[in-house]
């Protein structure tokens, strides 16, 4: 009878251990992969789940008075010590202390020419300057106008940068507000997403042709990560990003990692899963074979982290700690640039020893992981942000992390200035090599034109390099003519019959001295910053 009772208690202990093991896996979702620290942690938990109930059973059976209990404890201690030893020793021997050069060689960095790779554009449309906080404000405002969905769904806080039909966009799917909203709406799924235009500063809600079922805010078998783990039990997941293809169909882009050093060291993306959240189907690709329409395989933090390995560890571990010879690192933060069909991360590179200025910057392809380095010396991003904020300090606007553009072969930071509510109010351009040259405007183009004027005033560019202003023609009956000296230059001011003032430089056009009161003229002019003052480029007297 005692043996039967003992057997039942052992069976009960095994059942308890099995249930705890299964529940932990269901909620923790560790990869069954020896290269994952999560796997070894889970293994320690399994040993505990079985060891504790069996230990209690042994105690109840009176085994503790003999040597069997001691032997049992030793067995469990030895078994538990194995994963602990793997975690500790694997972490040590996978560290940068023993493998600095291996970490540094994870990526290759090619030096490139700034002017060649970043040609100047007449209109800046490929820079995404809006951060997630500002995009979220626009997205929530758009969703708030839709009474049929706003009570059941929120907009996800994870806005992802994509290249959609050649232009930068930020997208975020809707998500269930809570468990009860999911319970009420799981049969209908998630109906749409919000697309934010970070250049035009507007947002649109887009409804899916077919709703998403597997999302991060769902529960049980519809939970996105649970569906992915049960489909790919051995994969080590990294970032999971929501994207849409060129036809507007939703997908999750799931990056999978493997170590390049030892068991756990220098983790990097080697595969990507394209997951369809509408029907739960997916495809696994090597990174090199991933379709070109996807944008986010490597996230920005990983891209910057890998460059920091390259920049600080190429001279060895001790050099990164003590000497810092030729050590360089990325600045904190990154921006986005759309080039061709891809999204690229931008961030500055600074010396570890002296980080008050940048010694260059890098662009990293978010899909392929390619790195390009540009040796452009100048102010680091936060100094430029401070300069832009100082230009409009009375408004207390806050600058976003900048990106880089080419203006007349001048490396130039471009950023947005936001008010206290996080709304974009102004654009600012700051010269990289001289961050005292700052210009702002309500649009990117207006800011660029003001910046060119600043470059001209500082002697950085010539008058011929200034853009030709848009001109118009008018018939003018001269009422008064006056001369004035402005900045050491003689200027002719002509007041027309309707009160509009036309001005012109006598040094640029000596014939302006011939204009007298009462003359009828045909004037070619450009608008100025003053609504009723116009700049003359050409004039002629009207025939009687």
Q: What is the pLDDT of residue 2?
A: 55
Q: pLDDT tens digits, residue range 12-27?
A: 888 888 999 999 999 9
From CA 435, how far away is CA 386, in angstroms rounded? 9
Q: What is the pLDDT of residue 115?
A: 81
User: What would the two tokens of residue 375 be?
Assistant: 């040796």
Check whether 494 has a pLDDT greater than 70.
yes
Please give the C-alpha separations between residue 115 and each of 121, 165, 407, 411, 417, in angstroms, as whole numbers: 12, 25, 10, 9, 27
Q: Average per-residue pLDDT in the chain?
A: 87
Percent of the chain topping pLDDT 70: 91
Element housing 23 (H / E): helix 2-28
Three-class SS of residue 424? strand
Q: What is the pLDDT of residue 354?
A: 63
How remote is the C-alpha of 333 from its chain's centroid? 9
Q: 């934010």: which residue's tokens?
A: 196
From CA 215, how far away is CA 278, in angstroms rounded? 9
Q: pLDDT tens digits, residue range 144-172?
A: 777 677 788 999 988 999 988 888 889 99
* Confidence band for 29, pLDDT divided at 50, 70 and 90: very high
Three-class SS of residue 118? coil
Check whether 375 has a pLDDT greater than 60.
yes
**CA 22-28-32 angle, 5° bins:** 75
Q: pLDDT tens digits, residue range 457-487?
A: 888 887 766 766 678 888 889 999 998 887 5
End-to-end CA gap in the chain: 130
Q: What is the pLDDT of residue 147?
A: 66
Q: 């050491």: which residue's tokens?
A: 488
**Which is nearest to 54 in space by CA: 10, 22, 6, 3?**
10
φ/ψ of 330, rounded to 5, equals -80, 155
User: Which segments of 145-187 does DSSP mark as H helices, in order?
Assistant: 147-150, 179-185
Region 338-352: mean pLDDT is 88
Q: Report the length, in residues, of the chain.
A: 544
Residues 6+ apart with CB under 8 A from 60: 9
Region 30-56: mean pLDDT is 89
433-469: b or e for each residue (b if 16 or more CB lie within 10 Å)? eebebbbbbeebeebbbbbbebbbeeebbeeeeeeee
Q: Is the dihedral of CA 152, 156, 157, 159 positive or negative?
A: negative
From CA 190, how far away is CA 195, in angstroms rounded? 15
**Which is nearest to 213 in space by CA: 277, 155, 154, 275?**
277
Percent of the chain topping pLDDT 90: 45
From CA 79, how far away is CA 84, in angstroms rounded? 9
Check whether 307 has a pLDDT greater than 50.
yes
How remote is the C-alpha of 294 from its chain's centroid? 15
* Confidence band for 64, pLDDT divided at 50, 70 and 90: very low
10 Å CB burial of residue 359 (0-12, 13-18, 19+) is: middle
Three-class SS of residue 242? strand
Q: pLDDT tens digits, residue range 171-214?
A: 999 999 999 999 998 888 999 999 988 877 788 899 999 999 99
In Å, the largest CA–CA distance within the chain is: 130
For every residue of 399-434, DSSP letters joined together read: EPPPEEEEETTEEEEEEEEE-TTS-EEEEEEEESS-
471-541 homologous superfamily: Nucleic acid-binding proteins (2.40.50.140)
Domain boundary assignment for the chain: 2-93, 124-297, 301-376, 381-465, 471-541
Region 85-93: mean pLDDT is 95
**CA 154-159-163 angle, 5° bins:** 135
**Left, alpha or beta for 175 (phi > 0: left; psi -120 to 50: alpha)?**
beta
Please give the C-alpha separations between residue 50 and each of 18, 53, 79, 425, in angstroms, as whole numbers: 8, 6, 11, 61
Check whether 120 has a pLDDT greater than 50.
yes
φ/ψ of 17, rounded to 5, equals -60, -40
Q: How many CA atoms lie within 13 A of 186 on its CB side?
A: 15
From CA 416, how far away is CA 424, in angstroms rounded? 6
Check whether 377 has a pLDDT greater than 50.
yes
Q: What is the pLDDT of residue 379?
A: 86
């Amino acid at each position: 009878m005692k043996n039967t009772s003992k057997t039942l208690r052992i069976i009960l202990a095994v059942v308890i251990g099995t249930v705890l093991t299964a529940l932990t896996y269901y909620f923790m979702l560790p990869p069954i992969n020896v290269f994952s620290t999560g796997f070894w942690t889970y293994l320690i938990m399994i040993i505990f789940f079985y060891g504790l109930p069996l230990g209690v059973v042994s105690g109840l059976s009176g085994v503790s008075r003999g040597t069997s209990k001691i032997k049992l404890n030793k067995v469990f201690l030895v078994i538990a010590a194995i994963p602990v030893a793997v975690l500790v020793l694997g972490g040590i021997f996978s560290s940068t202390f023993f493998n600095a050069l291996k970490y540094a060689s994870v990526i290759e960095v090619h030096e490139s020419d700034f002017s060649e790779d970043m040609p100047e554009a007449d209109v800046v449309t490929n820079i995404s300057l809006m951060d997630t906080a500002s995009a979220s404000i626009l997205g929530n405002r758009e969703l708030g106008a839709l009474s049929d969905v706003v009570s059941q769904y929120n907009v996800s806080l994870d806005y992802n940068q994509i290249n959609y039909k050649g232009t930068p966009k930020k997208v975020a799917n809707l998500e269930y507000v809570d468990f009860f909203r999911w319970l009420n709406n799981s049969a209908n799924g998630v109906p749409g997403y919000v697309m934010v235009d970070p250049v035009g500063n507007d947002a649109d809600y887009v409804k899916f042709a077919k709703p998403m079922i597997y999302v991060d805010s769902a529960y049980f078998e519809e939970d996105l990560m649970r569906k992915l783990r049960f489909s790919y039990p051995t994969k080590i997941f990294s970032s999971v990003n929501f994207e849409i293809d060129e036809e507007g169909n939703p997908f999750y882009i799931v990056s999978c990692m493997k170590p390049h050093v030892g068991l756990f060291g220098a983790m990097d993306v080697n595969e990507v899963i394209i997951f369809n959240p509408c029907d739960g189907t997916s495809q696994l690709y090597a990174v090199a074979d991933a379709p070109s329409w996807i944008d986010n395989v490597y996230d920005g933090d990983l891209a910057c982290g890998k460059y920091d390995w390259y920049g600080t560890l190429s001279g060895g571990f001790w050099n990164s700690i003590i000497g810092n010879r030729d050590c360089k690192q990325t600045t904190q933060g990154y921006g986005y640039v759309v080039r061709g069909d891809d999204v690229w991360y931008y961030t500055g590179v600074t010396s570890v020893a002296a980080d008050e200025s940048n010694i260059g910057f890098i662009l990293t392809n978010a899909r392929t992981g390619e790195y390009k380095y540009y040796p452009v010396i100048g102010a680091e991003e936060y100094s430029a942000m401070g300069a832009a904020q100082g230009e409009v300090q009375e408004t207390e606007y806050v600058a976003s992390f900048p990106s880089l553009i080419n203006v007349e072969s001048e490396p130039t930071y471009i950023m947005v200035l936001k008010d206290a509510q996080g709304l974009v109010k102004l654009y600012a351009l700051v010269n990289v090599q001289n961050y005292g040259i700052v210009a702002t405007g309500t649009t990117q183009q207006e800011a660029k034109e003001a910046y060119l004027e600043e470059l001209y005033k500082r002697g950085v560019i010539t008058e011929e390099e200034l853009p030709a202003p848009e001109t118009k023609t008018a018939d003018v009956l001269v009422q008064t003519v006056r001369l004035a000296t402005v900045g050491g230059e003689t200027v002719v001011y002509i007041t027309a019959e309707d009160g509009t003032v036309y001005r012109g430089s006598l040094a640029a056009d000596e014939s302006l001295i011939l204009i007298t009161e009462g003359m009828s003229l045909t004037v070619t002019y450009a608008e100025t910053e003053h609504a009723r003052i116009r700049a003359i480029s050409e004039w002629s007297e009207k025939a009687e």
